[in-house]
Amino acid sequence: MTDLHMNDTHMDDRANRNRLMKRIALRFGLYTLLILFALYYLMPLFVMVVTSLKSLDEIRTGSLLSLPREIDFSSWGKAWSSACTGIQCEGLRPYFWNSVLLSIPAVAISTLLGAINGYVLAQWRFKGSNILFALMLFGCFIPFQVVLLPMALTLGALKIAGSIPGLMLVHIVYGIGFTTLFFRNFYVTIPTELVKAAKVDGAGFFRIFFAIFLPVSPPIIVVTIIWQFTQIWNDFLFGVSFSQAGTQPITVALNNIVNATTGVKEYNVDMAAAIIAALPTLLVYVVAGKYFIRGLTAGSVKG
């Protein structure tokens, strides 16, 4: 009996050790793979940063991956304030502010409209509300190119063609489908009894929205802001179609800087300009990224 028992524990030990080894091997493989992928994705950024800090001479003679012999910020200054986008040579600065002026109100307005739409579609159902929601969803899948001509006509009719408010309108209209979808799916998880209770308490449509629904919304607001900001800041097609000299967003200016150089191609300036153009979205992700994941996965409000 004892013998058998001894034998058993011995077998158990071996099985345990085997399992442990297998787990360690698996972990090792997993981390190796993850690190390789991380390196692969970091490579372009590395090349960009390194190139932007080199002088033109060094770029021409050195290798793509080597670190700069001497750190040189002059290309950043040039990209910001004196690179040429065609005839003008003012750098990215004015266009950067164009983009800021465009993005912030467009993000804020489309988020607020999406929140109210979602609140209505989730909690104040009416006849045809599902059809309306389906149509709005449909709007998310319409390719940008399809709306270019009708949008141009509309902006012309409204007499805001080529202006920043005009471009803002395009982004708001195009964004409402997405923002509505986000908020609707978030609010649909909140029990409808909450609205009923508030109605009995005497609160009206907007009171319920601002006092009860908006305070539970930060996770989905963050998701929406990140999504909308990325979309609007990074947009090129609408920017290039509906703006004119002086109202162009940063993406269009970046394109012009890269394409408009005559003679020597200033790779360091191009790289610095590209990084400057990408910095704000990067910043938004770093600041709000953890809410992004939380907002995508969570959503249900308990209590």
Partner 1 sequence: MTSPQKAEHILSVENLDKSFGAVKILKDINVAIEPGDFLVLVGPSGCGKSTLLNCIAGLEKSTGGEIKIGGRSMNGVSPKDRDIAMVFQSYALYPTMTVGKNITFGMKVRGVPEAEQQRKLNEVAKLLQIDHLLDRKPSQLSGGQRQRVAMGRALVRDPQLFLFDEPLSNLDAKLRVEMRTEIKRLHQTLGASIVYVTHDQIEAMTLATKIVVMKDGIIQQAGTPNEIYNQPANMFVADFMGSPSMNLIPAQLEAVDEKTKISINRTDMAGIELMMDRKIEGLAGGSKSVILGLRPENISDASGQNAKDGQVAECRVDVVEPAGSDTFVVTNLGGKQVTARMNADVQIMAGDMANFAFDLSKASIFEPESGARIA
- Residues of this chain that bind partner 1 (CB under 8 A): 191, 193-194, 196-203, 207, 211-212, 215-216, 301-303
Which positions ≥6 away from 275 have C-beta within 8 Å?
48, 49, 52
Q: How far is the CB of 190 from partner 1 (least distance, A)?
A: 8
Q: How far is the CB of 302 from partner 1 (least distance, A)?
A: 6
Q: How far is the CB of 221 from partner 1 (least distance, A)?
A: 13
Q: How far is the CB of 259 from partner 1 (least distance, A)?
A: 51
In the bound state with partner 1, the residue whose beta carbon lies nearer, of 143 and 303, is: 303
Which H, E and C letters describe 125-187, residue by residue?
CCCCHHHHHHHHHHHHCCCHHHHHHHHHHHHHHHCCCCCHHHHHHHHHHHHHHHHHHHHHHHH
| DSSP one-letter string for 72-98 | -THHHHHHHHT--SSS----SHHHHHH
In the bound state with partner 1, the residue whose beta carbon lies nearer, of 187 and 242, is: 187
**Residue of 7, 86, 4, 47 whose CA lies nearest to 268:** 47
In the bound state with partner 1, the residue whose beta carbon lies nearer, of 44 and 303, is: 303
In the bound state with partner 1, the residue whose beta carbon lies nearer, of 168 and 190, is: 190
For residues 190 and 301, the answer to whether their CB atoms sit within 8 Å is yes
**Residue of 240, 227, 136 whose CA lies nearest to 181:** 136
In the bound state with partner 1, the residue whose beta carbon lies nearer, of 17 and 207, is: 207
Q: How far is the CB of 143 from partner 1 (least distance, A)?
A: 38
